[in-house]
C-alpha cells in the first residue's frame, strides 16, 4: 500500500503508535497503523469505541490530548514529514492544509461567540484580510453550506441553532481556508437520520467540488459504505481489514469484521442473526406463548393525550394508541417529534395536559406523575433509560441499583429473599455475579446497560418503556443487548414500548410501529410492511435516509 | 436591544423577589438585638452610680418600656420613612453616620477587589496553562498563604515592612493625614474627589494611604478568585471549542483570551460578587488595624455598647448592598453570556 505511490499520496501514515499516560500507567491506543490517502479520496475509518480510530485522526492533525503521545511511526503530508511538527508549523497546517470536523457540533463551537465571528476568526488565522472582508467571506461560506437565511444566522449563537445547523457551521469553519485534507470524526453521531443524510450529502458534495481528501471516522458501517470508496476497519488500535465497502460487507475476511458486519442492523437482518456465534449470551430455547384468550382487556389504551408545555408550545397533539400484553410497539421520529415526551407520559414520569391513559383497564392518567411512585401500578410499568451512565446512581453498586426498586416498590427488606431476586435478575440479563459489588464507573457500557435492564425487570413489570436503550452502545454490544431484550420479552410475555431513532432496530424489535412528527402520528402499522412500503412521504424520507449496505447483487457491478 | 431588555426584566424580577428577604433581615436583626444580653439604658446612663430612676427615665425615652411587638412596629414605620434611628454613641442620626462612613468602606473594598482581580485572574490563567508545573505550585502556595494568614496579621506585617522598615507607606491611620486640605465633596470617594479638584498632591497622599489596607484585604481574597479562575480555565481549555480553535490554527493569544478566558470568566464574575459583599462586611479587622473610618468598625463599636440602631442600620445596609451586587452580577452575566438571557 505505502511506498509505491508515495509521490501521489496526500497523506501517508506509517506504523503509527500512540500512547496515553493514564493513572493506571501507559495505555497504547494505536498500535502500528499504516494507511495512505490520495488527493480527493474519501476514506472510511470504521471501528467501535476504543478501537483507536479517533485517536488516529487526532494524531494525524496533532490535536491529541496532553496525555497522548506519538511514540513511533511517521506521518507524511504532501511528502513532508509532520510527525514531530510543532508550534508555528502546526499553526500554518491547521485549518489551511488540514482541518477537522467533530462529534457533538454544538460543543465544538464557542458558545459565547456568534457563528459569523467564529468563521471569520478561522479565515483571519491564515489570511491577511480586514475583519469586514472576512465577515463577508464567512457569509459566502454559510451560503455554501446551505444554511437557510444566512444573513440572519451570521449573528446567531450556537445555542440558537439546531445540531445539524451547528455541524454545517463547523463544516464552514473547516473549509474556510480550503484545506486539502478534512478529517471528520463521527460528524453525524447524535443527529437525526434525515439530518445525518443532509449533512453527509453536503460534506460529500463539498469534498468532491473542492477536491478535498476526506477521512470519515465512524462507528456506522452503513454510513461508511454509502459515502466512502475505501473502508478501513480498526480493532483495539490495529488495522484489521481494508477493502472497498461492498467487498468488506459481503465478503469480510477478518473474524472481527465478520462480527461487526453481522451486528450492524440492516434492512433485512433479524435479531437472531446479529450475533452469529451466539458468543454474547447463551441463547435459551424460547417457547412461543399462546395468544391471550379472547376478551382479555387491552394492556394499554392511550386516548387522545396532549402535552402542552408551560411556554405554550405543543409537544404532543392528540396521540392515541393501544397495546396488548406481550406486544412490542415502536415509536419512531426525528428529535423534537415528541416520541420521548409521549413515552414519558405513558410511563407516568410527566403529566399529560389532556387525554386518558388506561393501563389494564384502570385509568392512570389522572394520577399526578409525582405521586405515581406510590401507585400499585408503578411496578407494572418500568423504564429502561437511554444513557446507561447517567441513569445509574454513581454511589450505588450494581446490586443496590437492582435492589432499589425491590425495596421501594415490592417492600422487600434486605435479606436472603432480596439477594436471591437481585442475583436472579442479574443472571437473566447475563451480568456475572461478581460484578454486582461494583460501582457504575467500574463497569463497561454494555454492563451498565444490563444493570439498567435488570433494574427495570426486577419488579416483574408487564410493560417496559425503552427510551433509546441502545443509542449509546457500540453495535456489537447493541446486538447482544437487543437479543437479550427480545429473549426477556418472550420469556415473561413483556410488552415493549420501544422508542428509537434507529429504524432498523425498531423493525427487528417491534411488531407494530408508530411514526411521529411534530407531536402527531403520521403513520402506523405492522413494522415490516410499514418500512417496506411506507404510505407517507415523511416515512419514506426517514426510511431512505437510513444508510444501508447494498445487497450482494451489486457486488459484481462494483469495480473492486 | 432585545437581549438588554430581557436582562433588565430578569434583574427587575430578581429585585422584587429579594424584597421579602430584606424584610426578613430587618425583623431578624431587630429581634436578635433584643435577645442579646446588655441593656442600652444602663450603658448610656450618666455613670456607674446612676440610680434606678434615672435608668428608668432613659429607658422610657428610648421607648424600651413598650412591649416588643410595639417596638417592632414603630421601628418598621421609621425605616419605611427612611429614619434608621439615632446612635447613642455618636449622638447623630444613623443614616447620616452610615452615609459619611460608607464611601470610606466602599473605596477601600473596591480598590482591594480591583487589585485582587487584576492579580488573581492572570495568576489563575498562568496556573491553568501549565497545570502541575512549578508556576502552578507557586500560585497555589501564594494563594494558601494569603488565606492562611489572618488579615490583621498580614496587615501588621505590611505595616512593619513598608511603614516601619522601608518607610514607603505613610502613617497607617485613617484615610488621609490630618494636615491635608480636604477636596470639595462630590462623590465622597477621596481619590476621585481629589482628581476632580485637580489636586494631584492630595490624590497621591490619599492613594498612598489607601494602598496598604487595600493590599491587605486583596491578599485575603486573591485565593478564591485565582482558584476559581484556574479551575474554570482548565475546563475551558479542555473543552471542545478550544480544540476547534486549535484545529483551525488560531493564534495562541486568540485561543487563550478570546476563546478560553472569555468563557472561563463567567464563574469568576459570580465569585467576585460574593467576595465583594463579604469583604465589605468582614473587613472590620482591616478597618481597625488601619483606623479606617468605615461602616464595619462603626457597627462593631455600636455592638459592643448595645447601641441598637447603628447595628440594625448596618445590617440593613449590608443586605441591600448584597442584593444590589447580585443584580449587578446578573446584568454582567447577561452581557457576558448570550445564553443567560434564554433561561
pLDDT at position B47:
65
For residues A231-245, average pLDDT: 91
For residue A16, give the nearest of A83, A115, A62, A99 by alpha carbon.
Answer: A83
- Of all residues in chain A, the one with the smallest CA distance to B258 is A113
Out of B191-200, B212-221, B231-240, which region has the weakest mean confidence (pLDDT)?
B191-200
Give dist(CA A307, CA A301) in Å, integer.
17
Question: Are the C-beta atoms of residues A20 and A37 closer than 8 Å to each other?
Answer: no
For residues A259-280, average pLDDT: 73
pLDDT at position A398:
92
CA distances, B50 to each of B39, B43, B44, B91, B154 (Å): 14, 10, 10, 20, 43
B-chain CB neighbours of A159 within 8 Å are 338-339, 342
Joined grid coordinates for residue A29: 491506543
pLDDT at position A446:
85
DSSP string across A273-296: GSSTT--SSPPPP-PPPPPPPTTP
> What is the average pLDDT value for chain A, to the nearest integer?
86
Inter-chain CB proximity B240 and A102 less than 8 Å: yes
For residues B84-107, average pLDDT: 85
Which residue of B248, B336, B338 is in closest CB contact with A99?
Answer: B248
pLDDT at position B49:
67
Going by their DSSP bridges, the two strands A80-81 and A98-101 should be labelled as unpaired
Give dist(CA A188, CA B112) in Å, integer.
50
| Residues whose CB is less than 8 angstroms from the CB of residue B269 and which lie 6 or more positions away in sequence, other chains included | B329, B332, B333, B336
pLDDT at position A412:
80
- Comparing B219 with A388, which gets the higher pLDDT? B219
List A316's β-bridge partners, or say none: A307
The tally of CA atoms less than 13 A away on the side-chain side of residue B2 is 3
Question: Are the C-beta atoms of residues B109 and B283 closer than 8 Å to each other?
Answer: yes
Out of A55-59, A182-186, A352-356, B89-93, which region has the weakest mean confidence (pLDDT)?
B89-93
Which helix (H) or strand (E) segment is B241 a member of? helix B240-247
pLDDT at position A560:
36
A-chain CB neighbours of B244 within 8 Å are 100, 102, 108-110, 170, 173
| Residues whose CB is less than 8 angstroms from the CB of residue A276 and which lie 6 or more positions away in sequence, other chains included | A258, A259, A262
Per-residue pLDDT at B59 exceeds 80? no
User: Nearest-CA distance from B247 to chain A in Å?
Assistant: 5
Tell me the whole-structure pTM to 2 decimals.
Answer: 0.81
List A26's β-bridge partners, or say none: A21
User: Nearest-CA distance from B238 to chain A in Å?
Assistant: 8
Question: Are the C-beta atoms of residues A439 and A462 closer than 8 Å to each other?
Answer: no
Q: Whose grid coordinates read 478501537?
A: A51
DSSP-derived 3-state class of residue B51 = coil
List A358's β-bridge partners, or say none: A301, A363
Give dist(CA A455, CA A434) in Å, integer.
17
For residues A167-196, average pLDDT: 90
- Of all residues in chain A, the one with the smallest CA distance to B254 is A121
Give dist(CA B26, CA B84) in Å, integer.
11
Per-residue pLDDT at A554 exceeds 50? no
For residues A317-325, average pLDDT: 90
| Residues whose CB is less than 8 angstroms from the CB of residue A261 and which lie 6 or more positions away in sequence, other chains included | A221, A248, A249, A252
> Highest mean pLDDT: which of A53-57, A262-266, A549-553, B337-341?
A53-57
pLDDT at position A163:
86
- The pLDDT confidence band at residue A1, using thresholds 50, 70 and 90, is very low
- Of all residues in chain B, the one with the smallest CA distance to A159 is B339
pLDDT at position B342:
44
B 89-108 near A (Cβ less than 8 A): none
For residues B72-76, average pLDDT: 86
| Residues whose CB is less than 8 angstroms from the CB of residue B236 and which lie 6 or more positions away in sequence, other chains included | B242, B259, B260, B261, B263, B264
For residues B245-270, average pLDDT: 91
For residues A283-303, average pLDDT: 66
Out of A79-83, A91-95, A210-214, A274-278, which region has the weakest mean confidence (pLDDT)?
A274-278
Give dist(CA B9, CA A124) in Å, integer.
37
- The pLDDT confidence band at residue A537, using thresholds 50, 70 and 90, is very high
Amino acid at each position: 500500500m505505502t511506498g509505491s505511490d508515495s509521490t501521489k499520496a496526500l497523506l501517508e501514515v506509517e506504523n503509527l503508535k500512540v500512547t496515553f499516560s493514564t493513572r493506571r500507567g501507559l495505555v497504547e491506543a494505536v498500535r502500528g497503523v499504516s494507511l495512505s490517502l490520495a488527493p480527493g479520496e474519501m476514506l472510511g475509518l470504521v471501528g467501535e469505541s476504543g478501537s483507536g480510530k479517533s485517536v488516529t485522526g487526532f494524531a494525524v492533525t496533532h490535536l491529541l490530548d496532553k496525555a497522548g503521545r506519538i511514540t513511533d511511526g511517521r506521518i507524511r503530508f504532501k511528502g513532508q514529514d509532520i510527525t514531530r511538527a510543532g508550534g508555528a508549523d502546526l499553526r500554518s497546517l491547521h485549518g489551511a492544509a488540514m482541518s477537522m470536523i467533530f462529534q457533538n457540533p454544538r460543543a465544538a463551537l464557542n458558545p459565547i461567540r456568534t457563528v459569523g465571528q467564529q468563521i471569520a476568526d478561522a479565515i483571519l488565522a491564515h489570511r491577511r484580510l480586514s475583519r469586514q472582508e472576512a465577515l463577508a467571506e464567512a457569509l459566502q461560506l454559510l451560503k455554501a453550506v446551505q444554511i437557510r437565511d444566512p444573513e440572519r444566522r451570521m449573528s446567531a449563537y450556537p445555542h440558537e441553532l439546531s445540531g445539524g445547523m451547528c455541524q454545517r457551521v463547523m463544516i464552514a469553519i473547516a473549509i474556510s481556508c480550503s484545506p486539502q485534507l478534512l478529517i471528520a470524526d463521527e460528524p453525524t453521531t447524535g443527529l437525526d437520520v434525515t439530518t445525518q443524510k443532509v449533512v453527509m450529502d453536503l460534506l460529500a458534495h463539498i469534498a468532491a467540488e473542492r477536491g478535498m481528501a476526506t477521512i470519515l471516522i465512524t462507528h456506522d458501517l452503513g454510513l461508511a459504505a454509502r459515502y466512502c470508496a475505501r473502508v478501513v476497519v480498526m480493532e483495539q488500535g490495529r488495522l484489521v481489514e481494508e477493502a472497498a465497502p461492498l467487498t468488506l460487507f459481503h465478503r469480510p475476511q477478518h473474524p472481527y469484521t465478520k462480527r461487526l458486519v453481522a451486528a450492524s442492523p440492516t434492512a433485512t437482518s433479524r435479531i437472531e442473526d446479529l450475533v452469529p456465534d451466539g458468543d454474547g449470551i447463551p441463547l435459551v430455547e424460547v417457547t412461543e406463548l399462546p395468544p391471550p384468550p379472547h376478551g382479555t382487556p387491552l394492556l394499554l389504551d392511550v386516548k387522545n393525550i396532549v402535552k402542552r408545555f408551560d411556554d405554550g408550545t405543543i409537544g404532543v397533539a392528540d396521540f392515541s394508541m393501544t397495546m396488548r400484553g406481550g406486544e412490542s410497539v415502536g415509536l419512531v421520529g426525528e428529535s423534537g417529534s415528541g416520541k420521548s415526551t409521549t413515552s414519558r407520559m405513558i410511563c407516568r414520569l410527566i403529566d399529560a395536559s389532556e387525554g386518558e391513559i388506561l393501563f389494564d383497564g384502570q385509568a392512570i392518567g389522572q394520577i399526578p406523575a409525582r405521586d405515581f411512585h406510590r401507585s400499585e401500578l408503578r411496578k407494572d410499568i418500568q423504564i429502561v433509560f437511554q444513557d446507561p451512565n447517567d441513569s445509574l446512581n454513581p454511589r450505588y453498586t450494581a446490586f443496590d441499583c437492582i435492589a432499589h426498586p425491590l425495596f421501594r416498590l415490592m417492600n422487600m427488606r434486605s435479606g436472603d429473599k432480596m439477594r436471591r431476586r437481585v442475583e436472579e435478575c442479574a443472571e437473566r440479563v447475563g451480568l456475572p455475579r461478581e460484578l454486582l459489588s461494583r460501582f457504575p464507573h467500574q463497569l463497561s457500557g454494555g454492563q451498565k446497560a444490563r444493570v439498567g435492564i435488570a433494574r427495570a425487570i426486577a419488579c416483574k413489570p408487564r410493560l417496559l418503556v425503552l427510551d433509546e436503550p441502545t443509542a449509546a452502545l457500540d453495535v456489537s454490544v447493541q446486538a447482544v443487548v437487543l437479543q437479550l431484550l427480545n429473549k426477556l420479552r418472550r420469556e415473561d410475555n413483556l410488552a415493549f414500548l420501544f422508542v428509537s431513532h434507529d429504524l432498523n432496530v425498531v423493525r427487528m424489535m417491534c411488531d407494530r410501529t408508530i411514526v411521529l412528527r411534530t407531536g402527531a402520528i403520521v403513520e402506523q402499522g405492522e413494522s415490516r410492511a410499514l418500512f417496506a412500503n411506507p404510505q407517507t412521504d415523511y416515512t419514506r424520507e426517514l426510511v431512505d435516509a437510513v444508510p444501508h449496505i447494498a445487497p450482494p447483487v451489486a457486488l459484481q457491478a462494483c469495480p473492486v | 436591544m432585545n437581549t438588554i431588555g430581557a436582562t433588565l426584566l430578569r434583574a427587575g424580577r430578581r429585585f422584587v423577589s429579594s424584597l421579602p428577604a430584606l424584610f426578613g433581615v430587618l425583623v431578624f436583626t431587630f429581634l436578635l438585638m433584643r435577645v442579646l444580653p446588655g441593656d442600652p439604658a444602663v450603658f448610656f446612663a450618666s455613670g456607674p452610680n446612676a440610680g434606678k430612676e434615672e435608668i428608668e427615665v432613659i429607658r422610657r425615652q428610648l421607648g424600651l418600656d413598650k412591649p416588643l411587638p410595639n417596638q417592632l412596629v414603630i421601628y418598621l414605620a421609621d425605616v419605611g420613612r427612611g429614619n434608621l434611628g439615632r446612635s447613642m454613641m455618636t449622638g447623630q442620626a444613623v443614616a447620616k453616620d452610615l452615609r459619611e462612613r460608607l464611601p470610606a468602606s466602599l473605596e477601600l473594598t473596591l480598590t482591594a477587589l480591583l487589585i485582587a482581580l487584576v492579580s488573581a485572574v492572570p495568576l489563575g490563567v498562568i496556573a491553568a496553562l501549565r497545570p502541575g508545573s512549578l508556576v502552578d505550585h507557586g500560585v497555589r502556595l501564594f494563594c494558601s498563604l494569603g488565606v492562611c494568614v489572618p488579615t490583621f496579621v498580614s496587615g501588621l506585617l505590611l505595616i512593619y515592612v513598608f511603614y516601619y522598615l522601608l518607610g514607603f507607606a505613610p502613617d497607617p491611620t485613617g484615610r488621609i493625614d490630618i494636615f491635608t486640605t480636604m477636596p470639595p465633596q462630590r462623590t465622597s470617594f477621596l481619590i476621585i474627589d481629589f482628581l476632580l479638584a485637580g489636586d494631584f498632591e492630595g490624590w497621591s497622599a490619599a492613594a498612598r494611604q489607601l494602598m496598604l489596607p487595600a493590599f491587605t484585604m486583596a491578599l485575603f481574597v486573591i485565593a478564591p478568585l485565582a482558584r476559581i479562575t484556574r479551575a474554570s480555565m482548565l475546563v475551558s481549555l479542555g473543552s471542545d471549542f478550544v480544540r476547534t480553535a486549535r484545529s483551525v490554527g488560531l493564534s495562541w493569544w486568540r485561543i487563550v483570551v478570546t476563546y478560553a478566558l472569555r468563557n472561563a470568566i463567567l464563574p469568576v464574575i459570580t465569585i467576585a460578587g460574593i467576595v465583594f459583599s463579604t469583604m465589605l462586611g468582614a473587613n472590620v479587622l482591616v478597618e481597625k488595624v488601619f483606623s479606617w473610618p468605615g461602616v464595619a468598625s462603626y457597627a462593631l463599636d455600636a455592638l459592643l455598647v448595645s447601641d441598637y440602631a447603628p447595628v440594625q442600620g448596618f445590617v440593613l445596609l449590608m443586605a441591600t448592598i448584597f442584593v444590589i451586587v447580585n443584580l449587578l452580577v446578573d446584568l454582567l452575566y447577561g452581557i457576558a453570556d448570550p445564553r443567560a438571557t434564554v433561561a
